[in-house]
Amino acid sequence: MAEKPPRHPWWRTLLRWSLFLGLLVANGALAAVALGWAWLSHDLPSVETLAAYRPPVLSEIASSDGQVVGELFEERRRVVPYDRIPRRVVQAFLAAEDKNFFRHHGVDWAGTLRAGVNTYVRKRKVQGGSTITQQTAKALLVSSEGFAEGTRKNLRRKAREAILAARLERAFGKEELLWLYLNGVYLGHHSYGIESASENYFRKSVEELSLADAALLAGLPQAPSRYSPVLHPDEARQRRGYVLRRMQEDGAITEEERRAADASPVRVHAIDDPFREVSPFYAEAVRRRLVERYGNERVLRDGLRVEAAMDLDEQRAAQQAMLSGLLDVDRRQGFWGPLAHVEGPEQEALRARLARAWPAGALRPGDFAVGIVTAVNDAAGQVRVEVGGEVGVLPVAGMRWARTPNPSVHWEYAMIQRPSTALRAGDVVVVRRVEREELVAREKQRPGGRPTDVPEAPLLLALEQEPRLQGALVAVDPGTGYVAAMVGGYDFEASEFNRAFQACRQPGSAFKPVLYSAAIEKLGFTPSTLLTDAPVVFRDSERSWKPQNYGEDFQGEVPLRRAVISSMNIPAVKTAEMLSRKMGPDFLGQWAASLGLGTPVKAELGSALGSSCTHLIDLVEVYAVLERLGTRRPSFLVKRVLDRDGRILEDRIAPTDPWVPLSERLAGAYAEVREEPPRVVDARAAFILQRLMQEVASVGTGAQAARLGKPVAGKTGTTNDSFDTWFLGYTVDRVAGVWLGFDRNEQPLGRAETGGKAALPIWLAFMQAALRDRPQPEFPVPEGISFVRVNPETGEAVPPFAPGVIEPYLEGTGPDAVEAGRPGNRPVDMRDLFSQ
């Protein structure tokens, strides 16, 4: 019988099982920790070297002279080297945010525990315990994961922040971590980093910050909105005092320095938005082009340096000319009515708001304001208007234009005589403070006007209104293709629709240079070519129509010169018919496209009168082709784009650009030699048409352009019922075009509002400012041109010293002078061309 093995004591069995279970639990815990660590650290941003630190930085749009006209960003940040950050700035942030920064290893466990107890156990106000390293980690999380996820208030996010902080401490030295932090910390009002905040609040670089400035900025990270010096200056000052006391306690400053800084007032600038404040339509057009080429993410995050073709002085002149011109033409349409009508408590509430906006004495001559009509006196011809804290006088002389809109009535014959025609007590209106001399001058210019109707008053006002009319202006340097100025509408805030680039409108007679350039080159037209201006009915696209001239009269046989100068419609349609017969029905559209029109031209005779819509920028490019005597060069908004490291991404620098170094201009000249612009019109044909357009701008429908006092060629354009009015014109240095009209054609412009009356004054005001002190030479004459003095009514040559006008002709095609006993050569007759 086998002997039984001895039984182990029970406690040994229990110990063995306890050890086994303990190891099992420990391994499980380790596995759980490992899995949790992997889960928490998954997809954490990797920043292993300073060279790998590529935070989002803003992209800048600059004008030709280097002025910032637009900023594009997700986070408005400029990265500044650590050695440019003053010691006082570093000390201020350490005192405010992390006095133990140089002693901990990324996480202040005591501070974190204290904050956790106060937040989750004692249920007090949420309290932070983050070190500067943790805040840097948080900024990296926000950049990589987005603001919502990177700032989520939960334990997982705090754990990920702590893990990343530990990695940062291992990867970088303390000064490197400070550099990361000071370039990443959010300081309110789109300011990321110390340099961006210095510019935003103080218009300074970080090196120029005073002790008070540094302490104010150092107080912002905890609550940028609550301590905003723009919105809450008192709270910002209290927070700045706290930072200064901490700095003194840490021995960074003396008591005298603290008191001096604490006593200084909080002075900050209003936050600029150059994109919307300088030239929003131009900046937005540049932004769209950049997004198309580089993608939205790169534009907003990669710190592109965009050098626009804009001339900032010309851009400002364009905006001023457009604003003034739009207001003038809109007033001629009549009064659209008050902004509102208020009574009782509503009026009292509005009065209080207006008093805050325009306190007594705030209005200067020329300033606009909103006021409440308090009394209307027809007998005195005056309206009392309360503007903020004072009451002004609005005489009838300052509101005679305020008739009920009626486009069938000429505005000069419909001026009001009694203020009650337009206003009543309680109306809310836009007014402008004026000097008495301005209103007296208005009355003197008005037929039957009485300057005595303008009273003496401490605060004299004129009625204004927000225009419903819209307009656009584009100016191009024909030599370089630079778009020097561009306005896309009255108010970018109200509508971002760019009427210079996006609105397709009928050009009316502004299209005729396209037509006649083809006729001169392809049909041999000369200034003396006879065209018939007589009633005619055309059958086009299975419909019959009868074109009319603007004046609804007919001149019989007229030379081309007169047809162009007077912008006659019937000769233009007959010329289009000629081209269609000789060159084919689609020829005019093909010719227009070769000159630069990007929209199709309908294959119908009405296209001769501008019935096919086009964009203003395209029409300006066509006129630039004529200015260059037939060569086509694309216009562009952007001269050059550089990335954040200074590498050139695209370059269109012109050899004549005065704002760039000589080496870059030489490179531009070399590129231009290699890529000679294509010729689309014979130089002689372009010059002949240009000479006719010079006469349009001196004695024709655009004669007001002669007030520029420089050689000008141009053309007016007015569509049926004046829904669209245009003027396009150029000198040797500038090609500019203006369009005016209503967006939706809810009504035509007022009677007699033509391109020469409505659009040309804006063009003239702009060109006078743009070309001030810039002499413009005569247009160059190409080879193969001869000049002949002709009778302006018949186109026939006249003997030497006889009255007449000098016109250009291709050599050998000009009419002979008429001598006694021998008739000269008959000018080319359109009927001859039909018979060929």
Q: Distance (Å, rounded) from C-alpha 335 to C-alpha 328?
A: 12
Contact indicator for 308, 68 with CB cutoff of 8 Å: no
- For the chain, what percentages of helix, strand and coil (3-state, to nearest 5) are there? 45, 15, 40
pLDDT at 834 over 50: no
Contact indicator for 765, 321 with CB cutoff of 8 Å: yes
Based on its alpha-carbon atoms, the radius of gyration of the chain, rounded to whole angstroms, reads 37
Which residue's structure tokens are 């939960």?
154
pLDDT band at 31 (very low <50, low <70, confident <90, very high): low
Enzyme catalytic residues: 97, 509
The total of other beta-carbon atoms located within 10 Å of residue 763's CB is 29
Kindly report the average pLDDT of the chain as a whole number.
Answer: 87
Q: Helix crossing, 760-770 with 312-333: angle to 10°?
A: 160
Tokens describing residue 756: 């020469």
Question: Cα-Cα-Cα-Cα dihedral of 254, 260, 262, 267, to 10°?
Answer: -140
CA 116 from chain center: how many Å? 50
Contact indicator for 742, 469 with CB cutoff of 8 Å: yes
Q: Distance (Å, rounded) from C-alpha 11 to C-alpha 369?
A: 96
Contact indicator for 288, 282 with CB cutoff of 8 Å: no
pTM above 0.85, yes or no: yes
Point out the least confidently predicted range of 3-7, 521-525, 644-648: 3-7
Contact indicator for 510, 595 with CB cutoff of 8 Å: no
Point out the least confidently predicted range of 22-36, 352-366, 799-813: 22-36
Cα dist from 484 to 311, 532, 635, 702, whole Å: 5, 41, 10, 23
**Could you tell me whether strands 68-72 and 735-741 are parallel, antiparallel, or unpaired per DSSP bridges?**
unpaired
Q: Distance (Å, rounded) from C-alpha 139 to C-alpha 186?
A: 8
pLDDT at 255 over 70: yes
Contact indicator for 247, 280 with CB cutoff of 8 Å: no
pLDDT at 434 over 60: yes
Q: Using CB atoms within 10 A of its CB, is residue 529 exposed (0-12), middle (13-18) or buried (19+)?
A: buried
Following DSSP, what letter does each residue of 251-271 receive, concatenated?
TSS-HHHHHHHHHS----PPP
Among 615, 571, 607, 568, CA closest to 590: 607
CB within 8 A of 114, min separation 6: which ones?
A: 127, 129
Contact indicator for 492, 275 with CB cutoff of 8 Å: no
User: What's the confidence (pLDDT) of residue 825?
Assistant: 42
pLDDT in tens, 590-609: 999 999 999 999 999 989 99
pLDDT in tens, 769-811: 999 989 999 999 999 999 999 999 899 999 888 899 999 999 9
Which residue's structure tokens are 């108010």?
491
Cα dist from 179 to 176, 185, 201, 439, 698, whole Å: 5, 10, 21, 61, 65
Question: Cα-Cα-Cα-Cα dihedral of 513, 515, 516, 518, to 10°?
Answer: 120
User: What's the confidence (pLDDT) of residue 113?
Assistant: 62
Q: Distance (Å, rounded) from C-alpha 411 to C-alpha 405?
A: 9
The predicted model gives 646-669 an average pLDDT of 76
pLDDT at 819 over 50: no
pLDDT at 227 over 70: yes
User: What's the confidence (pLDDT) of residue 746?
Assistant: 81
In this structure, what are the phi and psi dihedrals at residue 709, rounded to the nearest 5 degrees? Answer: 75, 20
CA 547 from chain center: how many Å? 39
> What 3 state SS string does 688-740 have?
HHHHHHHHHHHHCCCHHHHHHCCCCEEEEEECHHHCEEEEEEECCCCEEEEEE
Which residue's structure tokens are 């938005």?
273
The predicted model gives 340-369 an average pLDDT of 92
Tokens describing residue 132: 């500067």
pLDDT at 567 over 70: yes
Contact indicator for 814, 526 with CB cutoff of 8 Å: yes
pLDDT band at 751 (very low <50, low <70, confident <90, very high): confident
Question: Cα-Cα-Cα-Cα dihedral of 18, 23, 29, 33, to 10°?
Answer: 160
Q: Using CB atoms within 10 A of its CB, is residue 208 exposed (0-12), middle (13-18) or buried (19+)?
A: exposed
Q: Distance (Å, rounded) from C-alpha 528 to C-alpha 512?
A: 17
**Could you tell me whether strands 538-540 and 368-377 are parallel, antiparallel, or unpaired per DSSP bridges?**
unpaired
Helix (H, G, I), strand (E, B), or coil: what is residue 651? strand
